[in-house]
Amino acid sequence: MRIDVPRQPTARLSDAWRHCVGTGRFDLALRRDYQDSLALVQREIGFRHIRGHGLLSDGTGIHQPYEHAGERRVRHAFTYVDQIVDAYLDLGIEPFLELGFMPSQLASGEDTVFWWKGNITPPRDEAEWADLVRGVLRHLIDRYGLDQVRRWPIEVWNEPNLEGFWSAGQDAYHRLYEVTSTAVKEVDAELQVGGPSLAPGYQDEWIRRFADFVETRDLPIDFVSRHAYSSGPVQPVPFGAHQTLMPASALLEQFGAPKRQLAGSRLAELPLHITEFNSSYRPDNPIHDTAFHAAYLAPVLVNGGDLADSFSYWTFSDVFEEVGIPTAPFHGGFGLLTHRQIKKPTYHLYTFMAEMGEQILARGEDHLVTRHEDGRVTVLAWAPADPTGGAPVEGHTLRLTLPVGTPEARGSAYVRRRSVSEDAGNARAAWIEMGRPLAPDTRRLDALHEAAEPARSHHAVPVTAGRAEIDLVLARNEVTLLELTPVVDETPKWWSEERLFGLGEEGTDASAT
């Protein structure tokens, strides 16, 4: 069946997909590979905010207690934080501040999470914690300006519904939220504070109790946040993990859940930020590195903006150490990029989205058609991705009739196509064919970078009465981007391709210009 794409737009394309992206812990941003990766991402995709753990953990060194004259005192040191935020702003991205984890010398216990041991216990001194929050925000305002910091959302903690991230239960989180949100607003009433940053799997009662607490205590809250993942229980292997996957629609269901769960409360009307999402919540699941992953997530990027004000891919880079230092270039890391900036297929899904137009002409289960203000038409299409592990669909076909130029236009359109699939733009496949080298040398790294680039093609199609027919046949797990531009033919009247080699009829006017 051929789909007749309308000429008039049906909506504007949401950019909720690029509002924020995730990162490894805050102090990893001091590394060269990290900054090189982020620079590439910003050049080719361009996220607005970046969010990660560990702003207040020991690795950034902000909280510095000392004793003087028999008294405990605290210095707030911003040596690392300033370098990191400076680097972010230089690259055109602003922080989405997550307040956590607990500095070890302020913590009430020794429970930690991750290889790098982020402390997950409440503060032993709430006043000192509030001073820390105020001190950080006042410093950021002094350095970067109030107008700028007001644009940076401030999230209270990370996944407090999981014992692995918050040791003290929901009531203690409510108290932390009260102390923290109050401290934020004491610095400036227009700073954006929110939470509760819930991990998937929580019961509706958790977020409703949080809403009741905030409303009863009349606490400040400017946005609601949660996370979304679609994977099942972990099946561990050495240096990796496997998991079953739910359909990608499960992610969209999670995006939309808070509005339903908070119906009737004032929190239901607040902006909703999905501050982490991915398929697997493991940083060592090989699914993240595959062509399947790009096709699987395509409908999420296309439709997620209907449900949330932002949804933040976790993460932009494999410079990430929650379960330890990666041991191979393709180890199942969350990143759009591996170490040393090898692009994964999902990276290209994001670059393709960055090239879509503002006006939505059509959306379907396997495509998105948009138009730019200058008249270019762009098509994002993807093959069905079966999360049950069934055989990938080969030869999925999409037939479109697209509006090009004015309703009366005739002539042709230039079609530019880029694709990633099992066989194109898939550096992991090349790495496997190399024998899965743990530390590729320069020659093999160059080959992996080359293999990571999308397949490219181009051709012209006829335009009749302002419409062009496009037939797309998609390879296994393919995601493809088409751009159609009306052709203005500037070929000189005397030119003939038949005479390219100087053969054929004479008679060309040599003086013609």
What are 236's strand-pairing partners? 241
Instruction: Give the Cα separation of 105 and 65 in Å (integer).
Output: 7
- Side-by-side strand order, sheet with 479-486: 11-12, 359-364, 367-371, 377-382, 479-486, 411-420, 455-463
Residues near 421 by beta carbon (within 8 Å), at least 6 away in sequence = 291, 345, 383, 455, 474, 475, 476, 477, 478, 479
**Token duo for residue 238:** 């050495």
Helices (H), 74-157: 79-90, 126-144, 146-149
Q: Are 338 and 344 in contact (CB under 8 A)?
A: yes
Neighbours of 476 (CB within 10 A): 18
What are 118's strand-pairing partners? 113
What is the chain's Cα-based Rg? 26
Q: Are 311 and 302 in contact (CB under 8 A)?
A: no
Q: Are 120 and 166 in contact (CB under 8 A)?
A: yes
Instruction: Give the Cα separation of 463 and 408 in Å (integer).
Output: 10
Quote the DSSP letter at residue 447.
H
If we measure between CA atoms, which residue out of 377, 404, 397 comes closest to residue 483? 377
Q: What DSSP element (H or E) covers 488?
A: none
**E strand spans, 134-186:** 154-156
List residues with catalytic annotation: 159, 276
Instruction: Give the Cα separation of 308 and 324 in Å (integer).
Output: 32
**Token duo for residue 483:** 């751009």
Complete DSSP assignment for 499-513? GTTS-S-----TT--
**Token duo for residue 382:** 């993807």
